[in-house]
Every structure is written in structure tokens, then in C-alpha cells.
Amino acid sequence: MAAYGNFCILMWNFLANIVQNLTYELMKNHTILLISILFLSLSTTVSSQSKVTANKVGSRIDISIDNKLFTQYIFSEDEKYPLFFPVNGPSGFSVTSMRNSLYPHHSSLFFGCDRVNGGNYWQQGLERGQILTLRAEILESGEDKVVIENECIWTRPGAMSPIRDFRTITVSSPSPEVYQIDFDITLEMLMDVKIEKTNHSFFSGRMAPDLAVTGGGSMVNAEGDEGEKGDEGTFGKRSPWMDYFGTRNGKTEGMAIMQHPTNKWYPSPWFTRDYGFFSPTPMYWPEDEKAGTTFKKGDTLKLRYRVLVHGGNTEEAGIKEAFTEYSKE
């Protein structure tokens, strides 16, 4: 009887060891499986983030997304002001245009201003005024964004410089069909400054002809107004953002410009044209047309803009939702 009891105990211990080993192996395999799934998920997330790089070449900075040229930030002494061109959409073609015979002062995507203390920092003719780069540096490159710092002086022959500005440009790609430019600028007044009433002021974009309204494209603001003219048009109306898009070669794409809610005059009224120009332009609608817009020496003006170059139309690109997120930043 004692022998039978010992046999039962041995069998019990044997079976217990088998169960214990099986449990251990199952747990080990389960852990390995979980780790593998986690690693795969992490790898997919990392790989889905676009790689954004910048390379300074002379008087320009080339910016690429996943090894494809997105835009060049050009600050040559031969240009009126620094500008972005091309600004390539998901199709690989620029959504903006670089000047033409009728409007040679429309240079793709840029920041400038006319009628500043008698100078013209917008239209052609460098002797009338020019925004010159003092410093352009790449601060970040190679991961999910590029960050550039640019310092500029507003100058013209025979006159003191009225303004110095400091720009921070951040380029990223929130999704495969959306390329983003954050353009933050601080203007420092080096003397008392008066800007007379002008339709040529501040951040502006000029679309490629085949994306313009006159080329079959669409221009729409946050309130749903479309085109330039009429009661349902966008000209002169205040709006947080404007989107311009069209279809070419079977691909719909466009570019939206957003004003941050912290901007002075927000939301500025828009100067729009069906031929492809659009700009939030406070200087065309000053409170006092005779007095214009004035600043004291030492004043600073901080402005923030976001540009979304996107595939699809306004709704498909989620411009409304993108602005809601931007407004919280």
C-alpha cells in the first residue's frame, strides 16, 4: 500500500512538472508574440512618418519629403524678397506659379509689403525696396520636420531701414497627401513706420494657372464663400482660412493659407483674385485710410501662418478640421 502511495506521488509530481513546463513555454511564446506585435506596430508607425530633410545650396534651401523635392526657400540678393518656389503638390508639380508678364510681382509664396515709409517691398524694382537676408540657418533636419531660421533687413538706397524681421519656418508632412509649412514672423520696427493703404501686403500666394478659378479651379473660404466676386464671393471678407484647389492630369490638389487666431487683425479680410492670387491683407482695409497703419520705433508685430499643400478638395483634405487643430497651438 505504501508503494502504491509513493507511485501516486511520483506520478503527480511528474504530471505537475509537465504542466509547469507547458505553462512556461506557452507564457514565453505568448510574451515573444506580444513583443513581436509591439515591435511591428512601432516599426510601422515610425516608417509611416515622412522623413523631411533640408540642404543649403548657396542662396537657397532645398526641402525634401521622403527624398522628393517639396520646395526651395530662395533668398538670393537678386530677388525682391525671400520666397518659396516650387511648392510641389502630391502630384509632383508645383501648385504655385513664379511670376508672369502681367503680374511679375507675384512670386509663388512670399511675404512682403508696399508703401512702407515710402518704400516698396513688394513690386519689381530692387531700387524701390528689398527684403534682404542677413542670416539663414537650418536648425533641424532629417526626421519628421525641418526648422529654418531666417533674419532679414528691409532696405532701399538712400533711406534708413524701417524694419528687421525674424522668421521661423517649419516644414512637415502630417500625412502622405498633406505637406505643411508653418511661417512665423516677427517684425521689429527700427523707426516710426507708416504703411499707407495698399492691397500689396504681407503673406501671399499665387496659384498655378491650371488650378486658378479662371483655369477651372475653386477658391473657398471657411464660411463656404466661393470665387472672387459677388455676394457669395471671398473678396474683402474676413475669414480664418482660404483654400485654392483644382484638377489637372486627373489629380485634384491645392493649397490652403491659414491665419493663427493670435494674429493682429484676426481674421484679416482677404484680397482674392480668380486668376490665382490670395492674401489675408489688413493694409487694404485700414481703420483710418488717411492715417494708414502706424507703428512706433521699437514696436514688434508677430504673425503666424500655416500653409497646407494637399491632395483632394477642401473637404477631402480636412482643411476645416486642420484649422481647428492649428487654432489650439
- The model's pLDDT over 162-193, given as tens digits with 9 standing for 90+, comes to 999 999 999 999 999 999 999 999 999 999 99
pLDDT at 258: 98
Query: Can you read off the three cell numbers belonging to residue 187?
Result: 517684425
pLDDT at 29: 52
Q: What is the mean pLDDT of residues 293-320?
A: 98
Confidence of residue 118 (pLDDT cuts 50, 70, 90): very high
CB 293 within 8 A of CB 195: yes
> How far is it, in rounded angstroms, from Cα 163 to Cα 276?
29
From the list 240, 235, 244, 236, the residue with the least C-alpha distance to 223 is: 240
Task: Give whichever of 36-45, 104-113, 164-173 has the largest mean pLDDT.
Answer: 164-173
CA 180 to chain centre: 3
Rg for the chain, CA atoms, rounded: 28
Q: Which of 34-43, 96-105, 240-249, 271-280 has the lowest mean pLDDT?
A: 34-43
pTM here is 0.86
Confidence of residue 31 (pLDDT cuts 50, 70, 90): very low
pLDDT at 25: 53
Res 220 pLDDT > 80: yes
pLDDT at 9: 53
Q: Is the peptide bond before 269 cis (omega within 30 degrees of 0)?
A: no
From the list 154, 99, 109, the residue with the least C-alpha distance to 132 is: 154
Q: Determine whether 57 is exposed, middle or buried from the number of CB atoms within 10 Å of its CB (0-12, 13-18, 19+).
A: exposed
Q: What is the mean pLDDT of residues 148-170?
A: 98
pLDDT at 85: 98
